[in-house]
Amino acid sequence: MHDVLIIGAGPAGLAAALWCDELGLDALVLEQAEAVGGQLLSIYNPIENYPAASAKNGREFLALLSERLDAADFDLWTNTAIESVDLKTKRIVLQSGEQLQSISIIIATGVRRRQLGVPGETEFAGRCILESATRDREQLAGKDVCIVGGGDAAAENALLLADVCPTVTVVHRGRTLKARREFTEQMVGHHSITIFPESVVTRILGDNEVEAVEILRKDALKPFQMAVQAVLLRIGVEPNTELFREQLTVNEQKYVVVNGEHETNVANVFAIGDVANPLAPTISGATGAGATAAKVIASRLNRRN
Ligand SMILES: Cc1cc2nc3c(=O)[nH]c(=O)nc-3n(C[C@H](O)[C@H](O)[C@H](O)COP(=O)(O)OP(=O)(O)OC[C@H]3O[C@@H](n4cnc5c(N)ncnc54)[C@H](O)[C@@H]3O)c2cc1C
C-alpha cells in the first residue's frame, strides 16, 4: 500500500514526487516512457520563463531538475505500461500483471501532439515529418517545407525556417491565423512564406522521402498537390486521459476538471499539470500544481506540511 501513486514523470509528476518526499509521503511514480521529463525532452528553444532557473533547452532544464531528483527518496518506475486504473478503489493494474494499491492517486499524464490522421503521416514519422524547426533548421536548409497549423507554434516555426528554406507553405483550417500579431505581421510580408487559409492537408506523398502534400481548399472540389520535402505538424495538443476519462469529470476537450486543490470529482484523486490545464500550460504551473496536490494529501494523512 503506497500513500500516493503518481502517473506520469513530466515536470508535474516529478515535482509532486519531490514534495511527497519532503512531506514524508511514500510515493511511487509510474512513467510509460523510457525516460522521465515528458515534454521537456522535446523543447529545443531556451527556457527563460521559469522563476529562478533558465536553460538553453528542455534537456538542460531536466538536468537541473535531475540534481534534485537524485537527492530525493521516492520510487520511480519507467517503461511501465498501465493496463487499468480503478480510481475509486485506487487500484492500478500494470500490463505486466502486477497490482498496485494506494490511498491517493495523482494523474500527471500531460498532453501529446495532435495528429493529422492522414495517409503518409505514420510512414514518414520521425523522418521527413519534423520534430522541431529549431532542432532541424540546418538540415532543412534549401528544402521546401509545409507547416500545418495556424497558431503560435506553427507561425514561430514558419518564421524560423523562412530564411533558410526557399518556400514555407502554411496550411491551416481557419479563415485567419490564430497566431499572435507579432508573428503574423512578419509572415504576411515574407517572400518565402505562402499561407493557405481554410485548407487542410489530406495526404503526405512520396516513395522513400516526402515529395509532396495534397491540399484541399474549402469549397474546392478537388485537392491539389504541392511539392515539398518536409512537413511540420503544429495542430495543437490533446490530453492523455484515455485511461481514466470514463471515471472522471472531463471537459469537452477531455481535459480533467479539478478544483482549487487540484482534486478531481473522485475523492483523493488529483490531476496536475497540462492534463488539467488547457488554458495556460507551463512548467511553473505544472510544478506548482504538484506541490499543491502533495501538500493537500499530506495534510489529509496528518503528515508534515
Ligand atoms: C516545444 C515546447 C516548448 C515549450 N516551452 C515552454 C517554456 O518555455 N516554458 C514553459 O513554462 N513551458 C513550456 N512548454 C510547456 C511545458 O513543457 C509543459 O507545460 C510541461 O511539460 C507540462 O508538464 P506535465 O508534467 O504536466 O506534462 P508532460 O510534460 O506532458 O509529461 C507527462 C508525462 O506523463 C507520461 N504519461 C502519459 N500517459 C501515461 C500513462 N498512461 N502512464 C504513465 N505515464 C504516462 C508521459 O510519457 C510524460 O512523461 C513547452 C512545451 C513544448 C512542447
Does residue 130 surpass a pLDDT of 90? Answer: no
Q: Which of 18, 29, 39 to mutate to test the pocket of ligand 1 (most atoms within 8 A of CB)?
A: 39
The reply to whether ligand 1 has any atom less than 6 angstroms from the CB of 13 is yes
Ligand 1 center from residue 84 Cα (angstroms): 22
Nearest ligand 1 atom to alpha carbon 47: 8
CB distance 251 to 245 below 8 Å = no
Does residue 271 surpass a pLDDT of 70? Answer: yes
Identify the pLDDT of residue 128. Answer: 76
The reply to whether ligand 1 has any atom less than 6 angstroms from the CB of 9 is yes
Q: Strand pairing partners for 169?
A: 146, 194
Please tell me the distance from the alpha carbon of residue 59 to that of residue 37, in angstroms, as a whole number: 8
Please tell me the distance from the alpha carbon of residue 276 to that of residue 286, in angstroms, as a whole number: 9
DSSP secondary structure letters along 215-266: EEETT-SS-EEEE-SEEEE---EEE--TTTGGGS-B-TT-PBP--TTSB-SS
DSSP secondary structure letters along 68-106: HHHHS--EEE-S--EEEEETTTTEEEETTS-EEEEEEEE
Please tell me the distance from the alpha carbon of residue 62 to that of residue 162, in angstroms, as a whole number: 30
pLDDT (mean) for 253-277: 98
Using one digit for the tens of pLDDT, what is the confidence trace for 199-257?
A: 999 999 999 899 999 999 998 999 999 999 999 999 999 999 999 999 999 999 999 99
pLDDT (mean) for 274-301: 96
Nearest CA to ligand 1 atom 50: 43
Q: Which of 36, 109, 160, 254 to mutate to test the pocket of ligand 1 (most atoms within 8 A of CB)?
A: 109
132 — pLDDT class (breaks 50, 70, 90): confident
Nearest ligand 1 atom to alpha carbon 237: 53
pLDDT (mean) for 124-150: 89
Ligand 1 center from residue 188 Cα (angstroms): 31
Considering the chain, what percentage of its residues have pLDDT values greater than 70?
99
Ligand 1 center from residue 214 Cα (angstroms): 31
Using one digit for the tens of pLDDT, what is the confidence trace for 49-72?
A: 999 899 999 999 999 999 999 999
Give the CB-side neighbour count of residue 155, counting CA atoms within 13 A.
17
pLDDT (mean) for 41-52: 92
The reply to whether ligand 1 has any atom less than 6 angstroms from the CB of 11 is yes
The reply to whether ligand 1 has any atom less than 6 angstroms from the CB of 282 is yes
- Give the ranges where 117-195 is alpha helix by DSSP (H): 133-140, 152-162, 181-188
Does residue 125 surpass a pLDDT of 90? Answer: no
Does residue 304 surpass a pLDDT of 60? Answer: no
Q: Strand pairing partners for 113?
A: 237
